[in-house]
């Protein structure tokens, strides 16, 4: 019959010899098991909407301030209308964010969190672009990350004031021809123009 171990006997190699140690090990295993089953919380839907809007409005030029400035416009519109940021972004670009997507560059609507090439995009996706610029895939992932910071409020607005709208030079010319005023807001280095559309009509003579 084998001898029972005495408490004064030396510990066996590789064995847990205290109840506290055993409980700690079991707790660690339980935490690890729960961590494996966890998934990251989903992004606010405004993140994807903003990122798609940014690519639509400034292309793959991640170095510009357009994305943060567009976020500033959307935040103003959300507050003014009493809606969510996602709802404001949908209202600002209804053709891009509608169902179905109704923009000529339909691949924009296929950009998503996966980072996979959107259907319909013929340009190289993973190959770096000319001039040492990052690939379109890397530019898209960088845009998504920027959009997360903008939506979370950790990326400050680059604008000197509060922009209510944005548009190209052609958009501004059309507004002026229609008799509407425009007050520019400096939003840094942007492809688009940002500012406030004056709701009152101005005399045609005042339009440049």
> Is residue 176 in a domain?
no
* 43 pLDDT tier (thresholds 50, 70, 90): confident
Give me the DSSP letters along 49-89.
HHHHHHHHHHTT-TTSSHHHHHHHHHHHHHHHHT--HHHHH
**What pLDDT does residue 8 have?**
52
SS3 115: coil
Handedness of CA 74, 97, 145, 126 (dihedral sign): negative
> Is residue 3 in a domain?
no
Q: Residues near 73 by Cβ (< 8 Å), separated by ≥ 6?
A: 92, 163, 164, 165, 166, 194
134 in the Ramachandran plot: left (φ > 0), alpha (ψ -120 to 50) or beta? Answer: beta
Residue 172 has pLDDT above 80, yes or no: yes
> Is residue 26 in a domain?
no
| ∠ CA 50-54-55, rounded to 5° | 125
Q: Residues near 92 by Cβ (< 8 Å), separated by ≥ 6?
A: 53, 73, 74, 77
Residue 180 has pLDDT above 50, yes or no: yes
Give the pTM: 0.76
What domain range is 123 assigned to?
45-157
Over the stretch 54-100, which tens digit does the pLDDT of each residue have? 999 999 999 999 999 999 999 999 999 999 999 999 999 999 999 99
- What phi, psi does 46 have (nearest 5°)? -65, -25
Contact predicate 164/193, CB 8 Å: no
> Is residue 96 in a domain?
yes
> Is residue 8 in a domain?
no
Rounded (to 5) percent helix, strand, coil in the chain: 45, 10, 45
> Is residue 27 in a domain?
no
183 in the Ramachandran plot: left (φ > 0), alpha (ψ -120 to 50) or beta? Answer: beta
> Is residue 166 in a domain?
no
The percentage of the chain sitting over the pLDDT mark of 90, rounded to a whole number, equals 67
* 175 pLDDT tier (thresholds 50, 70, 90): confident
Residue 113 has pLDDT above 80, yes or no: yes
Q: Domain count for the chain, please give it.
A: 1
Give 131-153 as a 3 state SS string: HHCCCHHHHHHHHHHHHHHHHHC
């Amino acid at each position: 019959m084998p001898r029972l171990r005495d408490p004064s006997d030396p510990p066996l190699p590789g064995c847990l010899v205290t109840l506290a140690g055993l409980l700690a090990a079991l707790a660690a295993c339980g935490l690890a098991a729960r961590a494996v089953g966890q998934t990251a919380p989903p992004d606010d839907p405004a993140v994807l909407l903003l990122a798609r809007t940014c690519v639509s409005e400034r292309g793959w030029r991640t170095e510009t301030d357009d994305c943060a400035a567009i976020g500033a416009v959307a935040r103003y519109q959300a507050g003014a209308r009493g809606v969510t940021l996602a709802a404001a972004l949908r209202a600002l670009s209804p053709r891009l964010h509608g169902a179905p997507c109704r923009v000529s560059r339909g691949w924009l609507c296929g950009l998503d969190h996966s980072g996979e090439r959107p259907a319909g995009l013929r340009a190289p996706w993973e190959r770096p672009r000319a001039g040492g610029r990052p690939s379109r895939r890397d530019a898209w992932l960088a845009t998504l990350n920027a959009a997360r910071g903008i939506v979370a409020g950790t990326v400050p607005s680059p604008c000197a004031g509060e922009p209510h709208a944005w548009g190209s030079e052609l958009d501004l010319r059309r507004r002026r021809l229609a008799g509407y005023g425009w007050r520019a807001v400096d939003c840094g280095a942007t492809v688009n123009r940002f500012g406030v559309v004056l709701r009152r009509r101005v005399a045609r003579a005042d339009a440049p």
